[in-house]
Amino acid sequence: MRRSLSVAVALLVALPALTRGQAIGPGFELERAGKYADAANIYFTTVRNDPVNVPALLGLERVLFVLNRMPELLPFVQRARARSPESVALRSLEVRVYADVNQPDSLEAVVQRWAAAAPRSEAPYREWGLALADRRMYDDARRAFLIGRKTLGGDGTLAIELAELEQRSGNWEGAAREWARAVTQSSDVEVNAAGQLADAPAAMRDRVIRVMLVPDATVDARRLGADLLLMWAQPNEAWAALEPTLQNGDAETQVALRRFTDLAASVTTPEGHRVRGLALNRWAAFLPSPLAERARAEAVRELLEGNDRVAARRVLEGLATDAAAPSDAHAVAQAALLQVMIADGQLDVVERRLTDSAQGSALTADDRANLRLALAHARIARGELDRATAALGNDSSVAAIAQRGWIALYRGDLKAAMDAFRIAGPYATDRSAATDRTAMMALLQRIQEPSSAALGGALLTLARGDSAAAVTALRRAAGGLPPQGGRLDVLLIAGQVASRLGGQHDVTAVALFDEIARAGAEGGAAAPAAELEWARLLIRQGHAADAIPRLEHLILTYPNSAVVPEARRELERAKGAIPKS
């Protein structure tokens, strides 16, 4: 019996809302069909019978605005508000209607009456300002919000509304000031603030950051500035802004650090990896074991990616030998420590540890393979090709096969290098390595000889970082090749290296590019590539006017060359570099 009575009471309570929804149903369908006048008739009939039917009044607001008949709505809204003065929805509607009919004095009076009835509420001033902002009356909207701030008190009152208003009006510096107030009042809005300010034009970003990082800026404002700098790919500046705010270990500090590490993950430059590692290490201090050890292990990996071996060593101290650390964190730490040792040149020590089953047992198979590749690369950089081969062991992965291809190339075994590169394919390892390998395959395809100790030695010299000596060695190696059998292609590499060295080597680069360009179509792909590199050198030297005819000649003479799109871009750049007379 009691259950039946409860259901009956619930139905009686819900009946008015259900009835109101059913009453405007036909009007809503007409509105969706674009029959606004017919929909307005339905809504008018409804509010005449039920003056406080809010859905019907809102329907009239929508269709009468389209029909440009908003003044007809005003008396209905006034009557509804008089009957239900406590309804926020009706008060808000009244404000919007007065704004629509452009009666500013009456609008302000309505807002003041509402504010008198709700003296501690932001709603009257918020609706007033938003109604004006929607009509692009930005100065009047700003005045409305500021009246609310002055009346209610509080530096952060209506800060979000003012921030969005300033952004809409193009005042990014003003928007930054208001968002700084908003996050200071409530750190919960920081994600929204960062998302809004991230859209600031590049020319305005320095001004936005200056607002966030003034000497007396609040902690929350500085953290917002750090987030923005990360989103704008300025990781070092971002960490400099965030670090001074991390003195307290409260919950908000932990949230800020976690958000920073998440944002930094999208910055894939070495600087981005480095600051993420620094943040992870700080965040680990707030975590329980084993989460703390895992976070530090990840920090080490990021610091190594960021080429900060000193910071990585500091984090590694104790972690690699910590018996309490979980096995996965211990393995990451061991691998990271060996990577640091390779970078420091302790290759023999790393080699012994990799071959020692007891010391290397904590390493995963992937870590062991990556370390062997890194060790082989380091041996190549020393010119120790036999030891590089030994470091790879019996690894049959495509990455190891590709590395063996480079070792064969540096020994001068061009055929073995080509075979290894073909087996590895164009997608093995990362994009940069695959691009280098593909370019080398293109060169080897044009060389008829199966071996060339001179070319292998020259390329090894280049790989070891001795660019000046590599230019001489490459020119000597090219002399042993026929003109249509790779000579010009090797000279092109020599010219590119000389051009990158710059300074006194520019003369050598120009001589090489000129020799290749003179071969014309008989030079194959090397001729247009040399023309392009020569033009780039001229632009870098400030001789854009001399580069233009060379680029135009390239485009007209070699229309099917793969470098033509790049040549067109350089031509536009060259033309833009010449001042208009």
> 480 φ, ψ to 5°?
-90, 5
Q: Is the dihedral of CA 220, 225, 230, 235 positive or negative?
A: negative
Whole-number pLDDT of residue 7: 32
In angstroms, the CA 28 to CA 39 distance is 7
> 226 φ, ψ to 5°?
-65, -45
Whole-number pLDDT of residue 160: 95
> 413 φ, ψ to 5°?
-90, 85
3-state secondary structure of 128: helix
DSSP alpha helix (H) spans, 68-137: 74-83, 88-100, 104-117, 123-134
In angstroms, the CA 345 to CA 379 distance is 10
Q: In this structure, is residue 274 part of a structural domain?
A: no
Q: Would you state the structure tokens that stand for residue 581, as one six-digit string? A: 């007379």
Q: In this structure, is residue 9 part of a structural domain?
A: no
In angstroms, the CA 421 to CA 428 distance is 10
In angstroms, the CA 278 to CA 285 distance is 12
In angstroms, the CA 498 to CA 103 distance is 74
Q: In this structure, is residue 163 part of a structural domain?
A: no
Closest by alpha carbon to 118, among 90, 143, 88, 150?
88
Whole-number pLDDT of residue 60: 93
3-state secondary structure of 384: coil
Total domains in the chain come to 1
Model pLDDT for residues 513-549, shown as the tens digit of each residue: 999 998 887 778 899 999 999 999 999 999 999 999 9
Residue 393, sorted as left (phi over 0), alpha (psi -120 to 50) or beta, turns out to be left
Report CA 446 to chain centroid distance, whole Å.
40
Count H helices, E strands: the chain?
A: 33, 0
Asked if 147 and 183 touch (Cβ cutoff 8 Å), the reply is no
Give the contacts of 24 (CB within 8 A, at least 6 positions apart).
42, 43, 46, 53, 55, 56, 59
Give the contacts of 67 (CB within 8 A, at least 6 positions apart).
36, 37, 40
Asked if 47 and 20 touch (Cβ cutoff 8 Å), the reply is no
Angle at which helix 251-264 crosses helix 219-231, to 10 degrees, equals 10
Q: In this structure, is residue 435 part of a structural domain?
A: no
Q: In this structure, is residue 480 part of a structural domain?
A: yes
* Triad 458, 459, 463: Cα angle to 5°: 120
* Triad 432, 437, 438: Cα angle to 5°: 100
Structural domain including 488 reads 460-576
pLDDT in tens, the chain (581 residues): 334 434 333 333 333 444 455 557 888 899 899 999 999 999 999 999 999 999 999 999 999 999 999 999 999 999 999 999 889 999 999 999 999 999 999 999 999 999 999 999 999 999 999 999 999 999 999 999 999 999 999 889 999 999 999 999 999 999 999 999 999 999 899 999 999 999 999 999 999 999 999 999 999 999 999 999 999 999 999 999 999 999 877 889 999 999 999 999 999 999 999 999 999 999 988 888 778 888 888 898 899 889 898 888 888 776 655 666 667 766 777 787 888 888 888 899 888 888 875 555 667 888 888 899 999 999 999 999 999 999 998 888 888 999 999 999 999 999 999 999 999 887 666 778 888 888 899 889 889 889 999 999 999 999 999 999 999 999 999 999 987 888 999 999 999 999 999 999 999 999 999 999 988 877 788 999 999 999 999 999 999 999 999 999 999 999 999 999 999 999 998 888 655 44
In angstroms, the CA 209 to CA 153 distance is 27
Q: In this structure, is residue 540 part of a structural domain?
A: yes
In this structure, which amino acid lies at residue 87? S
DSSP alpha helix (H) spans, 361-504: 365-381, 385-392, 398-411, 414-424, 431-445, 453-463, 467-479, 488-501
Asked if 293 and 319 touch (Cβ cutoff 8 Å), the reply is yes
- The b-or-e profile of 177-196 (16+ CB within 10 A means b, else e) is bbbbbbbbbebebbeebbeb
Closest by alpha carbon to 199, among 172, 165, 237, 230?
172
> 258 φ, ψ to 5°?
-65, -40
3-state secondary structure of 451: strand
Q: In this structure, is residue 558 part of a structural domain?
A: yes
What is the Cα gyration radius of the chain?
36
Q: In this structure, is residue 88 part of a structural domain?
A: no
Asked if 280 and 299 touch (Cβ cutoff 8 Å), the reply is yes
In angstroms, the CA 576 to CA 539 distance is 11
Give the contacts of 138 (CB within 8 A, at least 6 positions apart).
132, 165, 168, 169
Whole-number pLDDT of residue 557: 92
End-to-end CA distance of the chain: 97
3-state secondary structure of 542: coil
Residue with tokens 């409860």: 6
Beta bridge partners of 182: none
3-state secondary structure of 413: strand
Report CA 451 to chain centroid distance, whole Å.
45
Identify the H or E element spanning 49: helix 36-49
We report the CATH number of the domain holding residue 510 as: 1.25.40
* Triad 210, 196, 234: Cα angle to 5°: 50
Whole-number pLDDT of residue 288: 85
Closest by alpha carbon to 246, among 213, 222, 266?
222
